[in-house]
Homo-oligomer: A and B are copies of this chain.
Amino acid sequence: MGTLILVTGGARSGKSSYALARAEAVSTIRHFLATCPVTDTEMGQRIDRHRREREGRGWTSCEEEIALVSRIAALQGPGVVLVDCLTLWVNNLLFQADRHDEVFDEQALRREIGQLLAAISGYPGTVIVVSNEVGMGIVPDNQLARHYRDLVGTCNRLIAAAADEVVLVSCGLPLFLKTARPGGI
């Protein structure tokens, strides 16, 4: 039975660094699941640099834009899995559906999250997922952006409800929205 920690925060809030430090405090067996599609050379170089830095500290890394569920199911425990980040995964699911002229609505999201939570729950270790807070600005003009914002909000709530711990990071510092059960990590 896995332990689930959700780390959320704004852009450049330090949420990824916080999640990485938390993960490294949990276990020396470390799996990184990156959901970020590589869209340009500069980003590719940055991702490579981060991966090499992690490798020096015992991380295995894998890029996965869509199939987080099967990736997590394939991992052996005990250990720690860091998924960075769910917001891009939701983005990738939305664009995949769009390419196939399918609708990716809240119901479809709930199915995906249900499967993700089942995979996490089956992992015999700790899973830390990073997510963005995107709902505290003005309503976007763009309809797709509004839909995406709604999906990310729903994703965060569903994951938070199932999580053992939820942390909101601002200025690199944690605010604890939910703390681990006594006896947990």
Residues of A participating in the B interface, judged by any CB pair closer than 8 Å: 6, 8-14, 133-142, 145, 148-150, 152-154, 156-157, 159-161, 166, 168, 170-175, 177-178
Q: Is the CB of A6 within 8 A of B171?
A: yes
* Separation of A178 and B45 alpha carbons in the complex (Å): 34
A-B contact pairs, 18 of them (CB 8 A): A8-B170, A8-B171, A9-B135, A10-B133, A11-B136, A11-B149, A12-B150, A12-B153, A13-B153, A14-B157, A133-B170, A134-B138, A136-B137, A156-B170, A156-B171, A159-B171, A168-B170, A174-B177
Q: Would you give the shortest CB distance from A13 to chain B, in whole angstroms?
A: 6
Q: Would you give the shortest CB distance from A164 to chain B, in whole angstroms?
A: 13
